[in-house]
Amino acid sequence: MSDSIHKNKKILIVTDAWYPQVNGVVRTLTHTRDELILKGHDVTMLTPEGFRTIPCPTYPEIRLALFPATHRGSLQDNKLREVEEQSQKASYD
C-alpha cells in the first residue's frame, strides 16, 4: 500500500448548511470535521459565515451564501499553490 494514503491531508469541506442551523447535516459535518482533525488532517470549512447571504426562496430560514469572484479567485490561487507544493514534495519522495 502506498505511503501517501497514510499521510495527513488538507481537506476542504464546502457546505451551505452550517451554524446557526441545527439539523442532521450540520451535526454530521461537525462530527466528520472533528474526526478528521483527530486523525491529524488539516480541515478547512467553507461555509456561509463571512459571506453576504440571502434567504433560500423555499426555506427562508436557510441562508444561501453569495460567492463573490474575489473569494473564488483566492481559493483557486490557494489550490494551485497547494498542487505545486504537492508536486514538488512528490518529486523528492
71 close to 51: Cβ distance less than 8 angstroms: yes
pTM, to two decimals: 0.65
Which is it for strands 63-65 and 53-55: parallel, antiparallel or unpaired?
antiparallel
Average pLDDT per run of 10 along the chain, which is 93 residues long? 69 87 93 96 87 88 72 59 53 50
- Of 52, 62, 58, 51, whose CA–CA distance to 17 is shortest? 62
